[in-house]
Structure 1
Amino acid sequence: MADRDGTDGAAGLDGLIIPPLSRRGFVMTSLMSGLTLATTRVEAQVIHTDAAGIVAGEVKIPAGDGPMPAYRAMPEGAGPFPIVLVVEEIFGVHDYIKDICRRLAKLGYCAVAPELYARQGDLSTMTDPKAIIRDVIAKTPDAQWIGDLDATAAWAASAAKGDPQRLAVMGWCRGGRDVWLYAAHRRDLRAAVAWYGPLGGERTDIQLRTAGDVAADIKAPLLALYGGADTGIPVASVEEARDRAKVAGRDVELVIYPDAPHGFHADYRPSYRREAAEDGWNRALAFLQAHGVG
């Protein structure tokens, strides 16, 4: 049975949530400024979205063990606004993720990106992607960030003029992986958009299931946007996840951009592919609208 907030609580998730969850203090108490230091990047972001006509900036979200830093952007006005939970890459809530929130706010959404790795490390100082994966990502329990996304959704509805009846999630890279898992967790999601999220990976005692493992369990329509030239995510693995979901009666729409590499939407990195990024963005927006998030 779902809890009143639309989540499954500890039941029915086949190990996705492990109560009670051991909490720790926050290492990051505020968001980083600028772009991540942990990747080679172009000189500047291709897209820069201003804050005219919207309310945008860093906020603190109650997360049970202290205030969690997050970035919130929403339209000016009374609301309520449809909510999009924005899930970061491995690099933290930096300027690219903040800009995505502002892009969504300009279109009428309350977009919130919580810093889901704030307890495990200070991503603003880290320069080695391998160290981020080893020391931060691998040590972040799925139970922790899932609970933090639930807290973010609740905060958006109560403090940011968000409409809990129009809730969606969108994530990139590791955040795309998390979109699959969150869609398997939350029954009241209207839509989910996963940008090149890994389907496989190591299973551990704090990360028990992969995104591919939960494909047949997702509870919301999911749009999967992947690159055919992504050397880390075989197209066959994505197609297998889609097929497993469809056999189970789940709604998954898969789009493969044949020549696009991993990170093709990241307009601050050499991996950016404008045509695929723009087409994927337009498809994502149409997907939200088609499923009542708009």
Structure 2
Amino acid sequence: MSGGSGGEALTLASADGTKFRAYLARAGDGDAGVVIAPDVRGLHSFYEELAERFASAGVHAIAFDYFGRTAGMDRRGDDFDYMPHVRQATPRTVFADIAASRARLEKETKATRTFVLGFCFGGRIAFLSSAEQPGLAGVVGFYGRLGKRENEVWPAPAEQAPRMRAPVLGLFGGGDPSIPPSDSAAFDSALTIAKLKHHIETYPGAPHSFFDRTFSEHKKECDDAWRRVLAFMRTGDPARAA
């Protein structure tokens, strides 16, 4: 995936004083903004390019890194051993980093309607942000895991549905064994019971990470997902397809 409008590398400070990397791309105009929560790799170049692509589409965007506390501030290559750092990332610290990223986005741009969008590990974080980040315009989760493992510190999104306030768009691959249909159905049901505006879209046969790591192999699904995301950010309706 190629980017678009140029962006700016930033160093932000979280509520506890931790410094972490972020990447800001400004749209020419518009009041929509998005905080991008990456997959387990943290602030990979894919997410910098995605921020630029959002800016080219008229959405101010900032992507941030989870691992300032454990991996430092240096840029990292594709050989980065991310799992030890993922295990140390907690809801308290990640949501504080999202709040700092959002504050910088809204200060530096004209964004007044801010969304959180995430992928994989970040997809779950995006869903949970509907409960944890007040005043969001919406959240988008690409293949965010919905189940909960034993001793895991992150709650299952369905458990938090009664606390969620921002509309939810969930985008899943039908060929993803890590997110069985029963999990997405349970999440859909929990959001319905909570009377929260939402839409769940599943692409038959698409694998986990179809939009990021295997983007070029799933163009049809990616194009549809991109249209849905932009329509949601334009209208506030997660069920809009274009």
If the length of structure 2 is used for normalisation, what is the TM-score? 0.88
Against the structure 1 CA distance between its residues 277 and 127, is the aligned structure 2 distance closer, same or farther, given a 3 Å change threshold?
Answer: same
Q: What one-letter code is carried by the residue in structure 2 that aligns with 1:92? A: G
SS at match of 1:279: helix
Q: How does 1:94-105 map to 2 (within 5 A)?
A: 94-105=44-55
- Answer yes or no: is 1:276 the counterpart of 2:233: no
RMSD of aligned alpha carbons:
2.3
Q: What one-letter code is carried by the residue in structure 1 that aligns with 2:101? A: T
Q: What one-letter code is carried by the residue in structure 2 that aligns with 1:49? A: G
> 1:69 — aligned with what?
21
Q: Is the contact between residue 173 and residue 198 of structure 1 (CA under 8 Å) also seen in structure 2?
A: yes
Tell me how far apart the structure 2 counterparts of residues 66 and 162 of structure 1 sit (CA, whole Å): 26
Among the aligned pairs, what percent are the same residue? 23
Q: How does 1:136-155 map to 2 (within 5 A)?
A: 136-155=85-104
- Answer yes or no: is 1:177 the counterpart of 2:127: no
Tell me how far apart the structure 2 counterparts of residues 257 and 74 of structure 1 sit (CA, whole Å): 31
1:110 paired residue among 41, 60, 63:
60
Against the structure 1 CA distance between its residues 132 and 233, is the aligned structure 2 distance closer, same or farther, given a 3 Å change threshold?
Answer: same
SS at match of 2:76: helix
Q: What one-letter code is carried by the residue in structure 1 that aligns with 2:2? A: H
Question: 1:162 Cα shift?
Answer: 3.6
Tell me how far apart the structure 1 counterparts of residues 22 and 32 of structure 2 sit (CA, whole Å): 18
Q: Is the contact between residue 190 and residue 292 of structure 1 (CA under 8 Å) also seen in structure 2?
A: no
Against the structure 1 CA distance between its residues 284 and 270, is the aligned structure 2 distance closer, same or farther, given a 3 Å change threshold?
Answer: closer
Q: Is the contact between residue 56 and residue 73 of structure 1 (CA under 8 Å) also seen in structure 2?
A: yes
Against the structure 1 CA distance between its residues 141 and 108, is the aligned structure 2 distance closer, same or farther, given a 3 Å change threshold?
Answer: same
Q: Which 4+ runs in 1 deviate beyond 4 A? A: none
**Is the radius of gyration larger for structure 1 or structure 2?**
1
2:9 paired residue among 34, 40, 58:
58
Question: 1:288 Cα shift?
Answer: 1.3
Question: 1:277 Cα shift?
Answer: 0.9
Q: How does 1:255-294 map to 2 (within 5 A)?
A: 255-266=201-212, 268-269=213-214, 272-291=217-236
1:157-190 per-position Cα deviation (integer Å, ceiling 9, x unaligned): 22x1242x31111111111010111111123111
Tell me how far apart the structure 2 counterparts of residues 86 and 208 of structure 1 sit (CA, whole Å): 18
Question: 1:57 Cα shift?
Answer: 2.0
Structure with higher helix content: 2
Tell me how far apart the structure 2 counterparts of residues 108 and 277 of structure 1 sit (CA, whole Å): 18
- Answer yes or no: is 1:49 the counterpart of 2:6: no
Q: How does 1:1-294 map to 2 (within 5 A)?
A: 47-51=1-5, 55-64=6-15, 65-76=17-28, 81-121=31-71, 124=76, 127=79, 132-133=82-83, 135-158=84-107, 160-163=108-111, 165-202=112-149, 204=151, 207-266=153-212, 268-269=213-214, 272-291=217-236
Q: What one-letter code is carried by the residue in structure 2 that aligns with 1:231? A: P
Tell me how far apart the structure 2 counterparts of residues 80 and 50 of structure 1 sit (CA, whole Å): 16
If the length of structure 1 is used for normalisation, what is the TM-score? 0.74
| Higher relative contact order, chain-length normalized (CA < 8 Å, sep 6+) | 1
Q: Is the contact between residue 180 and residue 215 of structure 1 (CA under 8 Å) also seen in structure 2?
A: no
Q: What one-letter code is carried by the residue in structure 2 that aligns with 1:263? A: S
Q: Is the contact between residue 9 and residue 22 of structure 2 (CA under 8 Å) also seen in structure 1?
A: yes
Q: What one-letter code is carried by the residue in structure 1 that aligns with 2:142? A: W
Task: Judge which range, 61-70 or 257-266, deviates more.
Answer: 61-70
Task: Judge which range, 116-125 or 214-223, deviates more.
Answer: 116-125
Q: What one-letter code is carried by the residue in structure 2 that aligns with 1:161? A: T
Tell me how far apart the structure 1 counterparts of residues 150 and 134 of structure 2 sit (CA, whole Å): 24
Q: Alignment length, in residue pairs?
A: 235
Q: What one-letter code is carried by the residue in structure 1 that aligns with 2:222? A: A
Tell me how far apart the structure 1 counterparts of residues 65 and 122 of structure 2 sit (CA, whole Å): 11
Gaps of 5+ in 2: none
